[in-house]
């Protein structure tokens, strides 16, 4: 028995998310289908994170066990020849058979892109905000997110998790021409956390939410205290780090 680790990129626009679901096309299903064609065996594919409908990934990680002796390089070429154009494998690596893509992850990094002007080319991967934003206030707000906090105020209502404490090690806004890019990394994320953080900080950047209220929002653990969730299309899972 071997364990193989895949690093996967996908455009999430036309997917219901990473996780297999009954109500639509899932990235996980596409990869499993291609693996079955190559390996001629059923595999259990475990992803590092369950990205939502419309969310993209540049560095999603998934692992599976197999008895097939195929070389990683050969599997890499075969998968990219079978997968649809909106899914690509960047790497195939053999790892210890005990590897678990989700539970062994020590850090995940996401980015969120905001376009400050209408765009045709980036419309599927960024949120166009037509109102002026104060990037200085948004940068200051991002700094307050750093550290260990209970992010219950930024978690979707339907998320069935009791522990909402995350340690954020990177949180910053960077101007890039006509775009603002938010980079955030943490040991874990609760469901919807990045999109609600972005939506709340956009409210601060527009002047709707005083930056002085952010600490109170975080301390409230109340989802209704935070802002609206930003659209899924601007969010991308950039990388998953392991020890």
Q: Which residues are catalytic?
A: 52
Angle between helices 135-145 and 193-206 (to 10 degrees): 140
Handedness of CA 92, 35, 189, 9 (dihedral sign): positive
Which tokens is 143 given? Answer: 């700094």
Which tokens is 187 given? Answer: 């040991």
DSSP summary character for residue 15: S
In Å, what is the CA distance from 197 to each residue of 12, 79, 117, 194?
20, 35, 21, 5
Using an 8 Å Cβ cutoff, are 135 and 174 in contact? no
Residue with tokens 């899972």: 237
């Amino acid at each position: 028995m071997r364990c193989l680790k895949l690093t996967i990129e996908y455009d999430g626009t036309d997917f219901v998310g990473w996780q297999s679901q009954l109500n639509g096309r899932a990235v996980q299903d596409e990869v499993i289908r291609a693996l079955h064609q190559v390996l001629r065996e059923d595999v259990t594919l475990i992803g590092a994170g369950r990205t939502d409908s419309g969310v993209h990934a540049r560095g999603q990680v998934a692992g599976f066990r197999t008895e097939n002796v195929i070389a990683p390089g050969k599997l890499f070429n075969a998968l990219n020849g079978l997968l649809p154009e909106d899914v690509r494998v960047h790497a195939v690596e053999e790892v210890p058979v005990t590897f678990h893509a989700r539970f062994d992850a020590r850090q995940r990094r996401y980015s969120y892109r905001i376009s400050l002007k209408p765009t045709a080319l980036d419309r599927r991967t960024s949120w166009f905000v037509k109102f002026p934003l104060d990037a200085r206030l948004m940068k200051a707000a991002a700094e307050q997110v750093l550290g260990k906090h209970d992010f219950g105020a930024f978690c979707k209502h339907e998320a069935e998790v009791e522990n909402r404490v995350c340690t954020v090690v990177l949180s910053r806004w960077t101007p890039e021409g006509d775009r603002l890019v938010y980079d955030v990394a943490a040991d874990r994320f609760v469901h919807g956390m990045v999109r609600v953080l972005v939506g709340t900080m956009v409210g601060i950047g527009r002047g709707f939410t005083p930056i002085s209220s952010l600490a109170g929002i975080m301390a409230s653990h109340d989802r209704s205290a935070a802002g609206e969730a930003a659209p899924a299309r601007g969010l991308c899972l950039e990388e998953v780090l392991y020890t």
